[in-house]
Structure 1
């Protein structure tokens, strides 16, 4: 599930959990399968969404604003154009998802890129596991009603108990579609607030047939992109046989088991990743044959080398290099535990 779909799912779980007829979803014995079915039915009632959205990011007292207009046709067609650029996106930048491909146009460079768009809707937008995790890890409260872009909305506050953060959502009463959103988080002593709200929005209006096609502007150049080759393995030993470098497992704490093992190769760079689970907690380890600069963070000793450690929310990660290889280990674990686990890989 992509990040945008997961975010929409989180918002709609919150709306569903507090609106009339669904309050039982967060009391007693929640039924994620039933909630997922109701949410999917409500989403299926939306044929198209058109709108203008204002997005703001405030950091260190400075606010960056970008305004986009978009047309969305569920499940996977989207056209988004920047009509007022900001620090990160230029006026005229364009993204089109046609259903099987994604096109991105950079107005400042007059270049565009294209990617294959792999979308699997077999499980719908929302699965029961995702919904159950949201309900278990969040406190949802109803804050009344408001108006956004001339439409009545529910105001919901979603407190993520595992991250000590609060999200405010304003969702359309009729369609349960989020029309405004605001959240704040702190990292490395800096507080960042992100928000977006609709200036206008309409549902189920007819759209032109060519809305979700892409025609390069005059003179625009295609930027070649590489598609990574991905291989799944059923054991670390199998990964070692297939890769040109040794994959040494970190000494993970009791309870952590390997969920997936994968090698990704792009432009000659190979990265092998191991993902771990322990109940509702996760961790990851990766090794790559490209040694890039270390990320900023606290200096830590790993074996006979020095790496860096950093934290974001409840996730801590450490990175280090050795003999031209780059290593990373992270998860919902404290720094000392990660350093101990990484020492099994180390650098001799």
Structure 2
């Protein structure tokens, strides 16, 4: 769901930028965001083929999916590649979400979580924030998927206070429909980390509600998950985290100058157990003014991690263990495993400092 929201936010932002006259540098971020809202209101349904290309540990991975959407919350997605995921189906009729794995003949069924009617997503505020934290430039016209597209770059401003709200992104926007057909996210060295391509885009074609119906296949094993039972990470003190976690939390003996421990976050997947994989997660949060450093520790009671690091990860040694380091636009990430615990350090400090913190974990 997070990826879908990210795509929608980018779609709305790009549509707004060009719907108001394409390159009016006098418009404020708030004015652009308001225009975005108007443009989005005219979209009732859309479909496309999505290609996602990412780099994990030096290897390129491609996922191809056929996707259709209809307001307010209906969607259908079928994976075409890679081979091990071919046929994986995700369907939502606006009330229930089904995820079907044809290889295992299993279905995960989730009811849409309860959301108060008076709560609305502030897309205007989100887009305004992204634009305010970015330097926007336009590179002219190109051809993509037999369409004429505008090319736009967004780079984080050096003085941005929120690096997570700004991205180093290149976007290709369809001149006819004002919708993004491709975007790439880059690391701080301008290397592509992940690319999204939308091909065969169709908008407002009158997609039937029948497309969002799902019948559980014969013999399929069904697992029902109540999304209302899934709780966000609980904030607590370090001592409370030690008492709550079912594993010994590793603590660093070194922290960069100026950083102090602020709080811990605890979560587990007891309410949404999938593939018999049980885990607990504790995140130690350190802060230095507006800057932060997070140390995440995941203990797998059963199963194991299958999480991949995006980008061309650099191999580093951490007390004899192999770690993977990735430099993002304004943050860095280091991941490694010790015993039954997977550790990830993410923060606004350089590589040497992160490795030093990792080596001090006991």
**Does TM, scored on the shorter chain, surpass 0.5?**
yes
Distance 1:213 1:275 in 2: 43
Distance 2:72 2:10 in 1: 17
Distance 2:124 2:19 in 1: 20
Aligned with 1:211: secondary structure?
helix
Partner of residue 168 from structure 1, selected from 160, 168, 171:
171
Given that 1:253 and 1:341 are in contact with CA atoms closer than 8 Å, whether structure 2 keeps it comes out as no
Deviation at 1:298, TM superposition (A): 0.7
Aligned with 2:4: secondary structure?
helix
Structure 1 residues 10 and 110: CA distance shift in structure 2, 3 A: same
Aligned to 2:242: 240
Partner of residue 73 from structure 2, selected from 67, 72, 76:
76
Deviation at 1:330, TM superposition (A): 1.6
Structure 1 residues 17 and 186: CA distance shift in structure 2, 3 A: closer
TM-score by length of 1: 0.72
1:137-157 Cα offsets, whole Å, 9 max, x none, are: 3433152376867xx765132
The size of the alignment, in residue pairs, is 330
Given that 2:260 and 2:286 are in contact with CA atoms closer than 8 Å, whether structure 1 keeps it comes out as yes
Aligned to 2:266: 262
Deviation at 1:286, TM superposition (A): 1.6
Structure 1 residues 229 and 298: CA distance shift in structure 2, 3 A: same
Given that 1:11 and 1:169 are in contact with CA atoms closer than 8 Å, whether structure 2 keeps it comes out as no
1:108 aligns with 2:98: no
1:30-52 Cα offsets, whole Å, 9 max, x none, are: 343x4433323321222222x34
Structure 1 residues 15 and 230: CA distance shift in structure 2, 3 A: closer
Task: Give unmatched runs, 5+ long, in structure 1.
Answer: none
1:287 aligns with 2:282: no
TM-score by length of 2: 0.70
Aligned to 2:351: 335
Partner of residue 333 from structure 2, selected from 304, 312, 317:
317
Aligned to 1:298: 316
Given that 1:300 and 1:309 are in contact with CA atoms closer than 8 Å, whether structure 2 keeps it comes out as no
Given that 1:307 and 1:318 are in contact with CA atoms closer than 8 Å, whether structure 2 keeps it comes out as no
Distance 1:242 1:62 in 2: 39
Given that 1:57 and 1:194 are in contact with CA atoms closer than 8 Å, whether structure 2 keeps it comes out as yes
Aligned to 1:214: 214
Structure 1 residues 231 and 298: CA distance shift in structure 2, 3 A: closer
Given that 2:186 and 2:194 are in contact with CA atoms closer than 8 Å, whether structure 1 keeps it comes out as yes
Structure 1 residues 94 and 330: CA distance shift in structure 2, 3 A: same
Given that 1:65 and 1:86 are in contact with CA atoms closer than 8 Å, whether structure 2 keeps it comes out as yes
Distance 1:265 1:143 in 2: 47
Aligned to 1:48: 45
1:224-244 Cα offsets, whole Å, 9 max, x none, are: 779766551243343334334
Structure 1 residues 88 and 119: CA distance shift in structure 2, 3 A: farther
Aligned with 2:97: secondary structure?
strand
Aligned to 1:194: 195
Distance 2:322 2:281 in 1: 18
Larger deviation, residues 133-142 vs 94-103: 133-142
Larger deviation, residues 40-49 vs 262-271: 262-271
Given that 1:18 and 1:140 are in contact with CA atoms closer than 8 Å, whether structure 2 keeps it comes out as no
Given that 1:10 and 1:131 are in contact with CA atoms closer than 8 Å, whether structure 2 keeps it comes out as no
1:137 aligns with 2:138: no
Task: Give unmatched runs, 5+ long, in structure 2.
Answer: 158-165, 271-276
Distance 2:17 2:263 in 1: 31
Distance 2:4 2:295 in 1: 25
Structure 1 residues 247 and 7: CA distance shift in structure 2, 3 A: same
Given that 2:33 and 2:127 are in contact with CA atoms closer than 8 Å, whether structure 1 keeps it comes out as no
Aligned to 2:162: none
Query: What is the RMSD of the two structures over their aligned residues, measured on CA atoms?
Result: 4.4
Distance 2:257 2:126 in 1: 25
